[in-house]
Amino acid sequence: MANPTWDKIAGNWKQFTGQVRERWGELTDNEVAQMEGQRDQLAGKIQERYGIAREEANRQIDDWANQLKSD
């Protein structure tokens, strides 16, 4: 299922890396850069780093993306 908001984020990943690092400070610059906008990789790293369920990681990503959309 394509998400237009995520497509925009993925397409402009370099512009969003700072916001990703601000939101999930446990992720390293290198990890964020290597994701290249891959949502599943972001979810996996959040899950691993914060010790949370995949569903919670996805919810956090959705919340973050929705905030970007409304800004």
Residue 14 is predicted with a pLDDT of: 94
3-class DSSP state of 2: coil
User: How many domains is the chain partitioned into structurally?
Assistant: 1
Parent domain of 43: 10-70
3-class DSSP state of 39: helix
Residue 5 is predicted with a pLDDT of: 84
In a domain, 52, yes or no: yes
Measure the N-to-C terminal CA separation of the chain; round to a whole number of Å.
Answer: 24
Residue 1 is predicted with a pLDDT of: 47
In a domain, 28, yes or no: yes
In a domain, 20, yes or no: yes
State the residue for tokens 């700072």. Answer: 18
3-class DSSP state of 50: helix
Residue 2 is predicted with a pLDDT of: 56
3-class DSSP state of 3: coil
CATH number at residue 20: 1.10.1470.10
In a domain, 1, yes or no: no
Residue 35 is predicted with a pLDDT of: 95
* Of 45, 38, 32, residue with least CA distance to 11: 38
Q: What is the mean pLDDT of each run of 10 residues along the chain (71 residues)?
A: 79 95 96 95 98 98 89 69
